[in-house]
């Protein structure tokens, strides 16, 4: 069988480069088109020299590119832009969107969190939220899958089974999280300079981070009633990796059992023994999630830890996993690379 032909829109960002890295050793996927409006005409090796060994199509503008014959399109464009671009795509190819544009089923929530009305409400109605392990069958059947926020995925993996199982108090969830900087993308910003980031640590978007909208949507659905959590993200002096430290009220053994049971057959989700906790460095560059539960010294409380690589399982790896499902390929194809350590 010939490999499935895929395109990448917005290939000049970090999630675009990560898609190329993963697909380059994928046994049944081939990159047939890559767009990057501001870098059109360049070779990917000029934009990302680490991909120099690959034989890739030259970067083009979306307008220049024949997308109709592709099997699937990864859209790695900024939010707002994505809505317009995806709405104008030919009807044939399936679409995995890595932006925030189709994550929120409630159009009003979109307007509130992203500050503007949704421009493609019909498409939103068809979109499936891309948290693979919780929407697998819908993703298999979807034409449009909305990749999750990377912080959102990290917290959801820790908590969704607990809310579903009813083993914690959903009104007392605190998600403290730290993320590497690659999630902020490749745009040149003073605050993302090496001299500003390295050797330092701080919170960001406190009480205001947009991934809270995804928490609200998914936890409320799981609980069957509105749930709001407290969420504080921090920025780490490292490139990849997210660790969520989640404070819950519930019996630690039940919490651990709920996670272990829920993920027992999942190829990418690994629950450590009760009392162990994970490190971002041990999932770097991979599609694996490591989860741990530790009992607090105070009875009836526990800490749940969840870690993944924001560029892999948090975005581009998740996108490939979902694409595999949408294309009828083995779900883990191209995604079993071991983490890079040290």
Distance CA 83, CA 101 (A): 6
- Decide whether 111 or 189 has the Cβ nearer to a second copy: 189
Closest CB 143 distance from a second copy, rounded Å? 29
The total of other beta-carbon atoms located within 10 Å of residue 256's CB is 25
Query: What is the nearest approach in angstroms of a second copy to the Cβ of residue 328?
Result: 22
Terminal CA-to-CA distance of the chain, rounded, Å?
Answer: 37
Choose the binding region for a second copy from 65-73, 81-89, 90-98, 207-215 (rule: CB under 8 A): 207-215
Closest CB 311 distance from a second copy, rounded Å: 8
Identify the burial level of 57 via C-beta atoms within 10 angstroms of its C-beta, where 0-12 means exposed, 13-18 middle and 19 or more buried: middle
| Torsion angles phi and psi, residue 35, rounded to 5 | -115, 155
Whole-number Å distance between alpha carbons of 97 and 83: 9
150 is catalytic: yes
Q: Is 332 in the site for a second copy (CB under 8 A)?
A: no
By beta-carbon proximity to a second copy, the closer residue of 70 and 235 is 235
Decide: residue 338, CB within 10 A, 0-12 exposed, 13-18 middle, 19+ buried: exposed
Which residue, 126 or 336, has its beta carbon nearer to a second copy? 336
Q: Which of 111, 296, 300, 330 binds a second copy (CB under 8 A)?
A: 296
Please count the other Cβ atoms lying within 10 Å of the Cβ belonging to residue 25.
Answer: 11
Of residues 109 and 119, the one with the C-beta less far from a second copy: 109
Q: Which residues in 166-205 contact a second copy (CB under 8 A)?
A: 174, 176, 178, 181-182, 186-190, 192-203
- 285 binds a second copy, rule: CB under 8 A: yes
Q: What mask, x for binding a second copy by CB under 8 A, covers residues 11 to 50?
A: ---x--x--xx--xx----------------------xxx
94 backbone dihedrals φ, ψ, rounded to 5°: -75, 165
Report the distance separating Cα 55 and Cα 45, nearest Å.
10
Residues 159, 40: Cα–Cα separation, whole Å:
42
Query: According to CB under 8 A, which residues from 305 to 324 bind a second copy?
Result: 305, 307
**Judged by CB, which is closer to a second copy: 129, or 215?**
215
- Shortest approach of a second copy to residue 232 CB, angstroms? 6
Report the DSSP pairing between strands 301-308 and 289-295: antiparallel
Out of 284, 321, 322, 323, the residue judged to bind a second copy by CB under 8 A: 284
Does the protein bind a second copy through residue 329 (CB under 8 A)?
no
Contact 224, 191 (CB under 8 A): no
Instruction: Look at residue 6 and give its three-state secondary structure.
Output: strand
Residue 107 vs 192, nearer CB to a second copy? 192
Cis omega before residue 342 (within 30°)? yes
The conformation of residue 3, written as its DSSP 8-state character, comes to P
Q: Which of 33, 95, 120, 150 is catalytic?
A: 150
How many residues contact a second copy, by CB under 8 A? 81
Q: How far apart are CA 165 and CA 278, in angstroms?
A: 23
Cβ distance to a second copy smaller for residue 91 or 342: 342
Q: Cα 43 from chain centroid?
A: 27
64 binds a second copy (CB under 8 A): no
Question: Under rule CB under 8 A, which residues in 264-283 are in contact with a second copy?
Answer: 270, 277-283
Taking Cα atoms as reference points, which of 4, 265, 305 lies closest to residue 158?
305
217-256 positions binding a second copy, by CB under 8 A:
228, 230, 232, 234, 236-241, 243, 245, 247
Q: Does 92 bind a second copy (CB under 8 A)?
A: no
The residues in 95-114 that bind a second copy, with binding defined as CB under 8 A, are none
Closest approach of a second copy to the CB of residue 321, in Å: 14
Catalytic residue IDs:
150
């Amino acid at each position: 069988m010939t490999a499935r032909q895929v395109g990448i829109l917005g290939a000049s960002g970090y999630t675009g480069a990560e898609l190329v890295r993963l697909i380059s050793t994928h046994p049944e996927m081939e990159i047939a088109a890559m767009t990057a409006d501001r870098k059109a005409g360049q070779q990917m090796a000029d934009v990302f020299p680490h991909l120099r060994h690959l034989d890739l199509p030259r970067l083009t503008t979306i307008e220049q590119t024949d997308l109709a014959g592709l099997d699937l399109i990864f859209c790695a464009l900024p939010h707002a832009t994505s809505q317009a671009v995806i709405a104008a795509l030919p009807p044939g190819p399936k679409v995995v969107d890595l932006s925030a544009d189709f994550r929120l089923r409630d159009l009003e929530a979109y307007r509130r969190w992203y500050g503007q009305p949704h421009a493609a409400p019909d498409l939103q109605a068809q979109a499936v939220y891309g948290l693979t392990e919780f929407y697998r069958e819908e993703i298999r059947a979807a034409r449009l899958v909305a990749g999750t926020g990377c912080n959102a995925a990290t917290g959801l993996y820790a908590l969704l089974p607990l809310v579903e199982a009813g083993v914690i108090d959903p009104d007392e969830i605190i998600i403290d999280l730290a993320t590497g900087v690659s999630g902020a993308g490749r745009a040149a910003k003073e605050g993302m300079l090496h001299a500003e980031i390295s050797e330092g640590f701080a919170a960001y978007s406190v009480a205001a981070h947009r991934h809270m909208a995804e928490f609200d949507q998914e936890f409320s659905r799981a609980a069957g009633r509105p749930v709001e959590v407290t969420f504080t993200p921090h920025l780490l002096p490292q490139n990849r990796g997210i660790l969520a430290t989640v404070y819950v009220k519930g019996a630690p053994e039940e919490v651990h059992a709920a996670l272990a049971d829920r993920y027992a057959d999942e190829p990418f989700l690994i629950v450590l023994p009760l009392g162990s906790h994970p490190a971002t460095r041990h999932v770097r560059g991979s599609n694996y999630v490591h989860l741990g539960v530790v009992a607090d010294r105070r009875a009836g409380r526990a800490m749940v830890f969840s870690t993944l690589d924001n560029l892999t399982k948090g975005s581009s790896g998740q996108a490939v996993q979902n694409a595999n499902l949408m294309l009828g390929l083995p779900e883990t194809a191209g995604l079993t690379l071991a983490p890079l350590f040290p």
